Amino acid sequence: MERFRVRGGAQLRGQVRVSGAKNSVLKLMAAALLAPGRSTISEVPDNLDVEIMSELLRRLGCGVQRDLPAATVTIDVPEQLGHQADYDLVRRMRASICVLGPLLVRTGEADVALPGGDAIGSRPLDLHMAGLVRLGASVENEHGFIVAKAQRLRGAGIWLDFPSVGATENLLMAAVLAEGHTVIDNAAREPEIVDLVAMLQQMGAKVDGAGTSTLEIEGVGGLTPTRHATVPDRIVAGTWAMAAAMTRGDITVTNAVPEHLEIALDKLATCGATVERRPDGFRVAMADRPRAVDAVTLPYPGFATDLLPMALALNAVAEGTAMVTENVYESRFMFVNELNRLGADIRTDGHHAVVRGRPSLSGAPVSAPDIRAGAGLVIAGLVADGVTTVSDIHHVDRGYPGFDEQLRALGADVVREADPDLFPIA
């Protein structure tokens, strides 16, 4: 096990390129299951989640080859697929649940272990299961597995009580090969959903309404393999934008889509940053101490919950007091105690956090409870006096491949080292 050692005082400057979105590529890999033959996905980030999904697909009978220099993954899907996704893989990555819809519609049955993932709150699968029942499946929770069966799925009207990204993806992938017409109302609108729809359309699916709250799907008899480039990772891009403002730096982010970060970039402009949109991304520069800015997380196109840790860290060193509200995951504030160990003044009450800014933070040992909190703690360490060590960085590696290397290229003093606290003391 490793940790990051971060020495404070750096002003991040330079250019950084964003890779494909982790939250999209895993679903694109699952979508490949819908078409026998060879599909290739490019702009694939080099992280552990992609390897876990690759192994899951292999166990289902697929051939999977990763080309790291080319950032591609090639998936050879057989005519006859397995239908069981085992616990030892699914527990390590919640996105594994996205194979449920494709396996059910391809094989007539799917046994998928109940997933694990980041400890950021309850994320029940009721919407996935209820939607599949509407499509004609029988779905049970048996011995730690979701067991779904259907001789033939049929189109239906589905209303989601919450615009769940995962449920939208699973139901969409099941509906494209179902018989007849399906309407998913209150569907998620995230760019990753639009990306999935684009790949499905390339495969021959008939889907309308991507990017809106209503998806209409006309089932087809079969799909064909395709080649598709993953959408840029808006959360990683937003993290670099926040890091530029926090460290009073100047970062140009390439291979990014500013339209996917409208509210986040507007918040940075409000706190005093210079924000310039460019053809292949954007630039964020900050000359002075940022001003406090309120933030409220909501499903897309609202302020992304995955950027909440960075918003808290930014306000921790801002001038003034801010209110940050979390409306998506009830346990997203779990890492606040770690940020307060660095000297932040953050008090939480339910899904609200009051952040009183301080001129600087103070280095200390902290631990990353999840992907985004880990990134936020590393960046907070850059504006802390002295040295900060961030443990449990396997979380960070899942969402930010080469994070320490990119930080060093921007001028940070960050090293990866063995975590001595994980070894017994003689």
Please indicate whether residue 370 is annotated as part of the active site.
no
Q: How far apart are CA 44 and CA 49, in angstroms?
A: 11
Q: For tokens 């008939």, name the residue.
A: 206
Instruction: List, in sequence order, every residue forming a beta bridge with 390; answer none if it has no partner.
Output: 4, 366
Q: Rounded CA gap, 117 and 395, in Å? A: 10
Of 228, 197, 202, the residue nearest 41 (C-alpha): 228
Helix residue ranges, H only, 176-302 = 191-202, 234-246, 262-270
Tell me the three state secondary structure of residue 316: helix
> Could you tell me the end-to-end alpha-carbon distance of the chain, in angstroms, rounded to an integer?
19
The 10 Å Cβ neighbour count of residue 104 is: 27
Among residues 396, 375, 378, 398, the alpha carbon closest in space to that of 387 is found at 378
Can you tell me the distance from the alpha carbon of 162 to that of 188, in angstroms, rounded to the nearest whole number? 8
Q: Please say whether the beta carbons of 39 and 77 come within 8 A.
A: yes
Would you give the DSSP letter of residue 43?
S
Among candidate residues 118, 233, 397, 404, the one labeled active-site is 118
Ramachandran bin of 9, using left for φ above 0, alpha for ψ from -120 to 50, beta for the remaining angles: left
For the chain, the helix, strand and coil percentages under 3-state DSSP, each to the nearest 5:
35, 30, 35
Q: Which of 372, 371, 333 is nearest to 351 (CA)?
A: 333
Rounded distance between C-alpha atoms, residue 341 and residue 423, angstroms = 23
Alpha carbon distances (Å) from 396 to 95, 209, 239, 245, 369: 16, 34, 12, 20, 9
**Catalytic residue annotation:** 118
